Amino acid sequence: MTLLSIEGLGISFGGLKAVSDVSFGVKPGEVVSVIGPNGAGKTTLFNMISGVYLPGSGKVMLNGEDVTAMPPHLLARRGMCRTFQNLQVFQSMTVLENTIAGYHLQESGSVLADILNLPAARRRAKQAEAGARELLRRVGLERAAEREAGSLSYGSLKRLEIARAMALNPRVLLLDEPAAGCNAVETEEIDRLIAEIAASGVAILLVEHDMKLVMRISNHIVVLDHGEKIAEGDPASVSRNPAVIAAYLGAENAAG
Ligand SMILES: Nc1ncnc2c1ncn2[C@@H]1O[C@H](COP(=O)(O)OP(=O)(O)OP(=O)(O)O)[C@@H](O)[C@H]1O
Ligand SMILES: [Mg+2]
């Protein structure tokens, strides 16, 4: 069963077709990666899927429902969460507070209801804290819970961001460059974490430049170049596809 289905998505900025007619699907427990040279349209595609950009054409289907252009908080309630290429962590809050912040997106209680019903609000806060500590354990940050997020290493921050997205208990998780800026050890930790989350049945859509990580972890790879899907398949077939090799070599030549 396909949980997330991308159907002919496209968008232009001015005259530039940043993404055109891209389709693919992601099943529960599967890791699908979107790769391609710089400027290929990967982040733009993510932004359309996650409700940040309004697609010019095409549809995003989540569990059979058309969720095209639905804002991120409504997508989160339907089980789709994302992290960002540029970290979006609250630097001066603690690791625990950052993770707890993930829970508040999901809450329906109003401030007034909280004031009128303090015991329920306190109970919810306790549950959020317990849940956050459990997530920090899963991502290997339980000992850093009380530290300021700004004092963490880059790899730990990336894992914190994943923990915060997991607070929403997603069925589909979009990760934009989770290993960017990480060293080899940190990348391995991210690798293990993604595999674990997928094994729990979450559908994972990944944008990542680290080819070793992509080849190790993906069930399926979609290759973009100049906004178009030029290839897709399992890691072995994609890595020997002549069009893919040419796109990457072309990008290298263009960069000098
Ligand atoms: N908001 C925008 N306005 C205008 N052009 C944009 C906008 N966002 C992206 N683009 C353009 O769309 C194209 C695709 O950019 P995008 O950021 O999606 O690439 P990418 O594959 O994520 O690249 P990278 O690997 O460098 O992160 C680029 O030519 C970029 O300049
Ligand atoms: Mg990008």
Instruction: Give residue 124's pLDDT.
Output: 82
Instruction: Give residue 119's pLDDT.
Output: 80
The secondary structure of residue 148, as a DSSP letter, is B
Q: What are phi and psi of 119, to 5 degrees?
A: -60, -40
How are strands ordered across the β-sheet holding 4-13? Answer: 16-26, 4-13, 57-62, 65-66
Q: Hey, which of 19, 42, 209 would you mutate to test ligand 1's pocket, going by the most ligand atoms within 8 Å of its Cβ? A: 42
Alpha carbon of 108 to ligand 2 centroid (Å): 33
- Both tokens of residue 138? 């899963």
Instruction: Give residue 221's pLDDT.
Output: 97
Cβ of 13 less than 6 Å from ligand 1: yes
Instruction: Give residue 120's pLDDT.
Output: 78
Who wins on pLDDT, 140 or 107?
Answer: 140
| Phi and psi based region of residue 40 (left: phi greater than 0; alpha: psi -120 to 50; beta: remaining) | alpha
Position 153: which residue type?
Answer: S
| Per-residue pLDDT tens digits for 14-46 | 989 999 999 999 999 999 999 999 999 999 999
Cβ of 222 less than 6 Å from ligand 1: no
Helix (H, G, I), strand (E, B) or coil at 44: helix
Ligand with smallest separation from the Cα of 45: 1
The secondary structure of residue 94, as a DSSP letter, is B
pLDDT for residue 242 is more than 60: yes
Reported for 217-220, long-range contacts at CB under 8 A and 24+ positions apart, including other chains, are 217/31, 217/33, 217/191, 218/31, 218/32, 218/33, 219/30, 219/31, 219/32, 220/24, 220/26, 220/30, 220/31, 220/32, 220/33
Domain count, the chain: 1
pTM over 0.85: yes
Instruction: Give residue 105's pLDDT.
Output: 63
Instruction: Give residue 122's pLDDT.
Output: 82
Q: Which domain holds residue 63?
A: 4-254
What is the CATH classification number for the domain harbouring 121?
3.40.50.300
Single out the residue of 40, 44, 48, 41 nearest to residue 4, CA to CA: 48
Residues for the chain: how many in total?
Answer: 256
Who wins on pLDDT, 239 or 106?
Answer: 239
